[in-house]
Amino acid sequence: MLCRLGGRWLRPLPVLQHGARDRPLAPTSTGGIKHSALPVWAVASVSAGGSGGPGSWYEALATSAPVHGTEEVLLGVHTVTGLPWWACISLTTVALRGAVTLPLAAYQHYILAKVENLQPEIKNIARHLNQEVAVRANQLRWSKRVARLTYLKNMRRLVSKLYVRDNCHPFKATVLVWIQFPMWIFMSVALRNFSTGATHSEGFSVQEQLATDGILWFPDLTALDSTWILPISVGIINLLIVEIFALQKIGMSRFQTYITYFVRAVSVLMIPVAATVPSSIVLYWLCSSLMGLSQNLLLRSPRFRQLCRIPLTKSDSDTPYKDLFAAFYAKFISKK
């Protein structure tokens, strides 16, 4: 029976039999598509409902333009190269890190080197300004608080002038973080969409392909890594990056020490987190961390730094890798 509503003929919804609304809906056939055994929380937000639901923020992110663009890049690489998905994920990661984050990391080192070279001049200015403020405080009978505020205000102004003069404000060194972290998020969400079946392309399910395009001990990229080899590898590589950073910093401030401990804790916590997401995401995290480690070591090379026109500093070494190994040996091996 049809009913008329707003000029259109609509078929009424079928009436549920008594007790039917209390019974769960029967699962529908998916045409043989293989579903991965992911935790409930790992796929719940993909089907989260209305705009006010708890998964609405993630759904907005998962369907956003940057994530969609990332999916198109991955699909494009897969289509052009014809490689299996494990190789496409690795290749895309290497390409993005090499084309985007490596130049930004070199620029970061360029800015930090210029800031480091300004330190002797800054110390000289601080010494002279301290003397001038002391003389003026004695003449005008300023309190210690007024004298200190005057010193800090003028010191900030003079240092800012130096940064402008040499075009090396330290905030410019943070541009790497503002680009790398969102890129990491978009890639992770795009791969999650692929692995949970939320993305289709030209009629075929990417999830189906991921389920058979793994390698070695993780042939199914939509499933978890039950061996924990990938998650543990991610944690170890991230810890190595943190330790290399810590070894090259002599006389770290208390704040830098706290940050180092915090990043170490995050690196360890990433292991159980990585064990609860599809292997495709963990593979991306591992490739990204390996590229980060390689990038960190490459930027220690005097020849590469010279190629990138990074200024020489007093802390630079002619044998950086030998010094790094010696510091690593002294800290972790000789003490045992």
pLDDT over 70 for what percent of the chain?
Answer: 79
How big is the CA angle at 115 (ends 162 and 321), to the nearest 5 degrees? 165
- CA within 13 Å, CB half, 321: 8
pLDDT at residue 59 greater than cutoff 50:
yes
The reported pLDDT for the residue numbered 149 is: 93
The reported pLDDT for the residue numbered 250 is: 60
Alpha-carbon distance of 259 to 318, in angstroms, equals 28
Instruction: Evaluate whether residue 203 is within a structural domain.
Output: yes
More confident residue, 30 or 94: 94
Tokens, residue 163: 């940064």
Instruction: Evaluate whether residue 246 is within a structural domain.
Output: yes
Alpha-carbon distance of 287 to 187, in angstroms, equals 12
The reported pLDDT for the residue numbered 200 is: 56
The reported pLDDT for the residue numbered 335 is: 61
Domain encompassing residue 324: 82-108+170-333
Contact call for residues 215 and 302 (beta carbons, < 8 A): no
Average pLDDT over residues 166-177: 90
The reported pLDDT for the residue numbered 305 is: 92
pLDDT at residue 193 greater than cutoff 90:
no
Instruction: Evaluate whether residue 65 is within a structural domain.
Output: no
pLDDT tens digit sequence for 117-168 = 999 999 999 999 999 999 998 988 888 899 999 999 999 999 999 999 999 9
Instruction: Evaluate whether residue 314 is within a structural domain.
Output: yes
Alpha-carbon distance of 253 to 52, in angstroms, equals 44
Q: What mean pLDDT is reported for the chain? A: 81
Average pLDDT over residues 24-32: 41
More confident residue, 198 or 285: 285
The reported pLDDT for the residue numbered 282 is: 94
Contact call for residues 285 and 192 (beta carbons, < 8 A): no
This prediction has a pTM of 0.76
Instruction: Evaluate whether residue 280 is within a structural domain.
Output: yes
Instruction: Evaluate whether residue 217 is within a structural domain.
Output: yes
pLDDT tens digit sequence for 241-258 = 988 887 776 656 677 788
Q: Report long-range pairs for 323-330 (Cβ below 8 Å, ≥24 apart).
A: 324/244, 324/247, 324/248, 324/300, 327/247, 328/243, 328/247
pLDDT at residue 281 greater than cutoff 70:
yes
How big is the CA angle at 165 (ends 164 and 171), to the nearest 5 degrees? 35
User: How sure is the predictor about 74, in pLDDT bands with cuts at 50, 70 and 90?
Assistant: very high
User: How sure is the predictor about 55, in pLDDT bands with cuts at 50, 70 and 90?
Assistant: low
Instruction: Evaluate whether residue 194 is within a structural domain.
Output: yes
- Domains in the chain: how many in total? 1
Tokens, residue 129: 């300004």
Instruction: Evaluate whether residue 211 is within a structural domain.
Output: yes
Contacts of 116 (CB under 8 A, 6+ apart): 313, 314, 315
